[in-house]
């Protein structure tokens, strides 16, 4: 095993230049352990792959998403230098929640340019790629407002697109104009209508009916979706995940349960890893 959040799993008879690196990126207030179950399932299928459980942003997810992207980019480059000095074949990313935006911000960094041609699969799990615009979760909106005031969370301010009076100057909008997803051979967006923490339409990068009627921010949201989708050379894949949850509690009412189940529901994890394993070969 490697140090820090990165782990080298298995020893392949093939040379380093044939390696496939898979990077796992945690979300808001998360850590590298959040992604361990997903990594373990893929490691059973592909023991010869290299796996990096990102840890550089642990304890820093209240800050600037762009800075988080910079830390992730540095972590990826360091992992490549340490584990693949002779080169590698593919680089894929699996990201949860905020991690999806952190990953996109990392790909846009200059230090990642030498590796763009090797980007293979991007899979986001309930990532609010277009921010929290048109969220229907009033409890979440209240919670975000409190956290922004109490902890002065720049990240939540950016996700709610209140970091600048002009929406087109907000970080999430500007990130939508930066290239990134089009470099991947495969792009999968997993979302759940049971998840109120990451708006369904935002996780799927698709238009929302309210945006089509909104005079205030409708054009901005529509533009973000077009900015993200237009450069893609291949069709994006969207999947709606429905979790079976028989318990009714505060977490299920506010939609947090489904958001967390993307990380620790065993049956769903097995299904995703085996049904889409060809995308990680």
Q: Whole-angstrom Cα distance, residue 277 to residue 196?
A: 28
Task: Label residue 125 by pLDDT band (50, 70, 90).
Answer: very high
Model confidence at 258, in pLDDT bands (50, 70, 90)?
A: confident
Question: What is this structure's pTM?
Answer: 0.88
Evaluate if residue 196 carries a pLDDT over 50.
yes
Query: Contact, 140 vs 254, CB < 8 A?
Result: yes
> In the predicted model, is pLDDT for residue 16 greater than 80?
no
* Rounded Cα distance, 219 and 88, in Å: 41
Q: Are 265 and 38 in contact (CB under 8 A)?
A: no
Average pLDDT score over residue span 169-186:
96
- pLDDT at residue number 247: 67
- For residue 15, what pLDDT is reported? 63
240: left (phi over 0), alpha (psi -120 to 50) or beta: beta
C-alpha 179/C-alpha 135 separation (Å) is 25
What pLDDT does 13 receive? 45
Nearest to 56 by CA among 125, 103, 118, 9: 103
| 61-117 pLDDT per residue, tens | 999 999 999 999 999 999 999 999 999 999 999 999 999 999 999 999 999 999 999
CA distances to 21, 78, 109, 144, 245 from 121, in Å = 10, 20, 18, 31, 29
HSE-CB for 249 with a 13 A CA cutoff: 7
pLDDT higher than threshold 60 for residue 42? yes
Nearest to 172 by CA among 184, 187, 186, 156: 156
Task: Give the model's pLDDT for residue 141.
Answer: 56
For the stretch 151-165, pLDDT in tens is 678 999 999 999 999
Q: What is the pLDDT of residue 50?
A: 97
Q: For 214-232, how does the pLDDT look when each residue is reduced to its tens digit (9 = 90+)?
A: 667 789 999 999 999 999 9
Whole-number pLDDT of residue 154: 92
CA dist., res. 188 & res. 250, Å (int): 30
Q: Percent helix, strand and coil across the chain, each rounded to 5?
A: 50, 15, 40
Determine the pLDDT at residue 245: 66
Cα 47 from Cα 274, distance rounded (Å): 14
Whole-number average pLDDT of the chain: 87
Q: What are phi and psi of 198, to 5 degrees?
A: -125, 110
């Amino acid at each position: 095993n490697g140090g820090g959040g990165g782990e080298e799993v298995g020893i392949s008879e093939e040379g380093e230049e044939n390696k496939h690196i898979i990077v796992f990126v945690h979300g808001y207030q998360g850590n590298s352990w959040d992604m361990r179950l997903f990594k373990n399932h893929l490691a059973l299928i592909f023991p010869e792959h290299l796996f990096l459980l990102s840890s550089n942003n642990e304890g820093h997810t209240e800050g600037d998403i762009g800075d988080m992207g910079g830390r992730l980019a540095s972590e990826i480059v360091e992992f490549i230098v340490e584990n693949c000095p002779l080169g590698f074949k593919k680089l894929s990313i699996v990201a949860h929640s905020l991690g999806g935006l952190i990953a996109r911000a990392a790909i846009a960094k200059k230090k990642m340019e030498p590796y763009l041609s090797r980007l293979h699969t991007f899979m986001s799990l309930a990532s609010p790629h277009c921010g929290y615009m048109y969220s229907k979760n009033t409890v979440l909106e209240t919670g975000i407002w409190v956290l922004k005031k109490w902890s002065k969370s720049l990240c939540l301010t950016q996700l709610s697109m209140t970091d600048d009076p002009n929406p087109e100057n907000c970080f999430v909008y500007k990130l939508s104009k930066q290239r990134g997803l089009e470099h991947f051979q495969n792009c999968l967006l997993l979302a759940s209508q049971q998840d109120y923490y990451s708006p369904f339409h935002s996780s799927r990068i698709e238009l929302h009916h309210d945006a089509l009627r909104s005079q205030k921010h409708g054009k901005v949201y529509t533009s973000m979706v077009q900015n993200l989708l237009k450069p893609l050379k291949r069709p994006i894949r969207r999947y709606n995940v429905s979790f079976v949850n028989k318990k009714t509690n505060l977490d299920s009412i506010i939609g947090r349960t489904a958001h967390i189940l993307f990380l620790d529901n065993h049956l769903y994890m097995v299904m995703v890893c085996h049904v889409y394993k060809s995308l990680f070969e």
